[in-house]
Structure 1
Amino acid sequence: MCGRFQRRLDKKQMMEAFGLGALEEMDVSLEVGLAPNYNAAPGSMHPVVVWDDDFGMRALRMMYWRFLPPYCTDPKKFNWSTLHAGAENLLSSTMWKKAFQYRRCLIPADSFVEWKTIDKKASKKTLKLPFLFALKTGDPFGIGGIWQHWRSPDGKTRMDTFAVVTVEPNEIVHDMTDHDRMPLLIEKKDYERWLQGGDVERPPVDLLRPFDADKMKAWRVGTSINSVRNNDPSLITPDDTPEPGDDEGGESSNGSGQMGLF
């Protein structure tokens, strides 16, 4: 599903990987947001690549990871789950359709997190073991997303918001975690077509597919990443200890505790 991801690349690497132009042209307000993030979570701000029609080029904006549609009047009272948008619903849902047609984006990342759930029969609790998924080459990649500019009814609060598009899992994600979804990863050769508007009646539905598992690698990491309060390079270190069995005791960890602006 992709509830967390890592963005370890620095500013220069991000500019080069996503064709964003000269560093001196970047908005200074992005400085803090471009710092490496080892535990990027929903309910917080992240740099996102979009297509700027005015300048005919790719641009980087800070966006809030929770898609807020125009009819949302109060995020605190908006109960819809809009962190993720299922690929199969992008054209059939009024929530997602226009964003998919007109406002597609890329979320820069180096790896993403999925959890394997182990039931603790003895304690009747569950343990969630985190796995990182990345490209075998070690290159950064773009997670496919859709975005929406949101403003409060009084016009005092404005922000760009996004949702991660999800697809069926490829073999490596399914075999490692038994998950039924994974984030949409866009091939570098398809960045331009994904970002540009093109024919809105014929959006790039052919790109809505699982990424090639043969191009990916995965490894288990420690459960420290389950808490968003932890954010340091140690979170990507492989955990080589034996994987706990389903008959062991232990505390439940559900990866919750996500912090937000609302």
Structure 2
Amino acid sequence: MCGRYYRHSDKQRIGDAFNIRDLPSSLIISEADYNVAPTTFQPVIRNDKETGERELVLMRWGLVPYFTRQLSDVKGISTINARAESVEKSPTWRVPFKKRRCLVPADGFYEWKRLDAKTKQPFAFRLTNGEPFAFAGLWDAWREPSGNWLQSFAIVTTEANELASQVHTRMPVILHPADYSRWLEREEDQPPVDLLRPYESEKMDLAPCNPLEGTAGSIWPESMASK
């Protein structure tokens, strides 16, 4: 699974990295968050329904399906991750996978390795080039009883590659920049199942980090963390 990730890219860097032409001045995101947690609102990228251009919006991490009757219905149910193996079949994921795919900007993510019955060691993963990247995401919109709309997202996971398997059996789907447009395309008749694959191990780094986590910025050389 992917239960924590980190981002040190600010709004402008995200805009540059993901070719977003119009960054709304009203959208405020933190410059760095080394402990992105479920239920918080995070920047995601999708295609604008009217213009088809990429837009940066804030959504809640932990997808609330459009058919949910009340928010308490999803409490205790993990919707932060969608398994690649079930996105075409599960009622929760089927429609978002077909029509509402998004990019989740990140600079790295965490996984925990069990050392013994009481101890887990967190590891941080990133790309070897130190560049921001995108998880494959799914989003949905749920109308609250008040009439307001809550937009939320999930990160798609797949089996771990050789590097990640040293820590965990699964990893988030990381997309290549060349595949961003295809992933975001709303009108594609055949959803891009072939993109739901492990990222190349040789293009990733991992390092142990503080069990308190939230300190990934200190484990990589400053020259890379600040790029």
TM-score, normalised relative to structure 1: 0.79
Q: After superposition, give the CA deviation of every residue in 1:96-142 in whole Å (9 maximum; x if it has no partner).
A: 1110010000110000000111214xxxxx11211111110111100
User: Where has structure 1 moved over 6 Å in runs of 4 or more?
Assistant: none
Aligned to 2:223: none
Segments of structure 2 that go 5 or more residues without pairing to the other structure are 221-227
State whether structure 2 residue 177 is matched by structure 1 residue 188: yes
Aligned to 2:139: 147
Matched letter for residue 125 of structure 2:
F
- 1:78-89 equivalent positions in 2, closer than 5 A: 78=74, 79-89=76-86
Query: Alpha carbon RMSD of aligned pairs, Å?
Result: 1.6
Q: Structure 1 residues 69 and 105, CA, compared in 2 at 3 Å: closer, same or farther?
A: same
Q: How many residues align?
A: 219
Shift of 1:198: 3.4
TM-score, normalised relative to structure 2: 0.91
Segments of structure 1 that go 5 or more residues without pairing to the other structure are 121-125, 226-230, 240-262
CA distance in 2, matches of 1:182, 1:76: 28
Identity value in percent: 38
| Structure showing greater Rg | 1
Aligned to 2:19: 19
Q: Structure 1 residues 219 and 127, CA, compared in 2 at 3 Å: closer, same or farther?
A: same
For the 8 Å contact 1:43–1:65, the answer to whether it is kept is yes
Q: Secondary structure at the match of 1:223?
A: coil
User: Which residue of 168, 171, 193 corresponds with 1:205?
Assistant: 193
For the 8 Å contact 1:132–1:236, the answer to whether it is kept is no
CA distance in 2, matches of 1:94, 1:76: 18
- 1:94-109 equivalent positions in 2, closer than 5 A: 94-109=91-106
- 1:1-262 equivalent positions in 2, closer than 5 A: 1-21=1-21, 25-31=22-28, 33-78=29-74, 79-120=76-117, 126-155=118-147, 157-175=148-166, 177=167, 179-200=168-189, 202-225=190-213, 234-238=215-219
Shift of 1:84: 0.6
CA distance in 1, matches of 2:73, 2:84: 26
